Structure 1
């Protein structure tokens, strides 16, 4: 029996289609564990759904309650001691096969399929399938942070926009009105400098987003985006972007919380300009101006938490969103340096 066939019988994985099951397996392979392996402790508040495929696991609680779960039997169709905090300690009593599923990923996959079945999103035809594109969203670090309800609502509110090569999608200096995702096609991001020269900042393609900075900061568009090819964009209005994406992704912290996070190993990033940084900054901070963040984010330490700040919190809000897109955990100093100065 294949791995996909094994997990397709588990609840609620059995509600997923083949593509979603393969997506689960890509991130959570089946593990072979030895007898006596501790899978979890009573009181754990993790985000995993752990399933027993083969072997035996004993569940025991401090109150003296014990249960034996045997792979292949009815009880094994359900995640082990799934109520959180966990009500039991789980330990293998024989060699066993298990799978640890990320609970948030499972929720998002179920949400996506139910939304598609209920007509929650209409995606126009292009080379590839709409399901492939939505699955691509689920791999995006930002969308992985969304509660399932937000992701479902976002799918329903995205509007499709066919585009042609050479078409200007957003223009530098215009107000921000939409956030865009490229379903198919390629675009160029360019910026006109004070000298009058136009410089290309980036080339973006399938699955990438743009336009968030103006929505997050309230400032005019800081670059122009022009389609290099024909394609299809999906756009989200500002009010929906704020409610569905900004609120869950951007985490605000106080000055005291910043100090605690830094003491715990977090890095400080000042996203103001180089000249502003030279005039005074928080001790220990590095300077990575917002306009350079897309290009320089790969110089940051993977897996490290960061706190970003500016004068007011506006630019740092945009910076935190950009970092989240690249897989970083980033908090924002609420009110920025202005709040610290007034404290």
Structure 2
């Protein structure tokens, strides 16, 4: 059985991926999960709610449609449609032979379809310019292609653009300063800036921000003071959003949540590897924590990121409160797949 991944061009032959713009199809392609199961495996159960939409690549499956049984074979026209079109399975599906499938997260697919069908880049900014999808250097296009803002609902984009303030800045100007309260979220619309870390982190490489990069959100997520300073390297322009508007429009998208029920589905299906992460201090963790959770304090996330598996879904326990929310944001910012467990009661280990 082949293990070769699909190309973005091959992905476009599956429905509804053919409705995606090339940029969003590429983004979806990067998030595909491939699965293999032996003959006889119960792949889906009728009425079960699942987080992903599944497509058959190779092999043969049977759909229990009541009085009759329908079969689908990989490569057939029917196989280019989802096996479970919707979050509640309409049929039970069993593998008749060894099968290979790929899975797409429902929410991700819905967001990308929303962007494509809503002509998300055909939106007027306050300056009257149109945001063009093919303009790779456009600040807003780059912003929305980040993992964090790819989660933003299309309706929020319009509100976001309408609420942005545009601020001219000069080379050498300090936009935010380490230790001060966070009042705004910033996106670089034009120019470049440098992040300066406090003395304790000076061994880390200096980070330069360019058009479409954003900063200032960590203080707004955590409620803490600024953790670094940002200084303009050249003249430019910033898009700025006040704290209250950031909390209303953006913050919910930066901290995706997963319920205990959805987590159980992941575990039973075995389709995704996940790890429960407790980001409190070690002394707090020892006093009581969820079974099977792993302790990594939020302050150590950046320095230990290289030791984390990028193929794992990280589910952060809610015990740390605002620290747990910040950890989810930081992990997603670092390119990991992370969620906040939304309904869990801590138990003693």
TM-score by structure 2 length? Answer: 0.63
Q: Label 1:130 to 1:161 Cα distance change in 2 as closer, same or farther (>3 A).
A: farther
Please show how residues 93-108 of structure 1 align to structure 2 within 5 Å.
99-108=102-111
Tell me, what secondary structure is at the counterpart of 2:82? coil
> Residue 179 of structure 1 contacts residue 241 of structure 1 at CA under 8 Å; is this kept in 2?
yes
> Residue 167 of structure 2 contacts residue 239 of structure 2 at CA under 8 Å; is this kept in 1?
yes
> Residue 186 of structure 1 contacts residue 203 of structure 1 at CA under 8 Å; is this kept in 2?
no
> Residue 123 of structure 2 contacts residue 130 of structure 2 at CA under 8 Å; is this kept in 1?
no
**Alignment root-mean-square deviation, CA:** 4.9
Please show how residues 153-302 of structure 1 align to structure 2 within 5 Å.
154=160, 157=163, 163-172=169-178, 174-182=180-188, 186-190=192-196, 202-206=206-210, 208-230=213-235, 233-250=238-255, 266-270=276-280, 281-283=284-286, 288=297, 290=299, 294-298=302-306
> Residue 165 of structure 2 contacts residue 239 of structure 2 at CA under 8 Å; is this kept in 1?
yes
Q: What 5-or-longer segments of structure 2 have no aligned partner?
A: 1-5, 259-273, 288-293, 344-349
Q: Label 1:281 to 1:227 Cα distance change in 2 as closer, same or farther (>3 A).
A: same
> Residue 59 of structure 1 contacts residue 68 of structure 1 at CA under 8 Å; is this kept in 2?
yes
Match of 1:323 among 306, 331, 345: 331
1:136-182 Cα offsets, whole Å, 9 max, x none, are 64442x34555565567556655565654323222345442321234
CA apart distance, 1:67: 2.5
Tell me, what secondary structure is at the counterpart of 2:279? strand
Rg larger in 1 or in 2?
1
> Residue 187 of structure 1 contacts residue 228 of structure 1 at CA under 8 Å; is this kept in 2?
yes
Name 1:87's counterpart in structure 2.
90
Please show how residues 52-131 of structure 1 align to structure 2 within 5 Å.
52=56, 57-61=61-65, 63-69=66-72, 71-73=75-77, 75-76=78-79, 78-91=81-94, 99-113=102-116, 114-116=118-120, 118-119=122-123, 129=136
> Residue 175 of structure 2 contacts residue 230 of structure 2 at CA under 8 Å; is this kept in 1?
yes
Name 1:12's counterpart in structure 2.
16
Measure the CA separation in 2 of the matches of 1:297 and 1:231: 32
Measure the CA separation in 1 of the matches of 2:173 and 2:235: 9
Q: What 5-or-longer segments of structure 1 have no aligned partner?
A: 254-263, 272-276, 335-343
Equivalent pairs counted in the alignment come to 307
Q: Label 1:10 to 1:222 Cα distance change in 2 as closer, same or farther (>3 A).
A: closer
CA apart distance, 1:331: 4.2
Q: Label 1:19 to 1:328 Cα distance change in 2 as closer, same or farther (>3 A).
A: closer
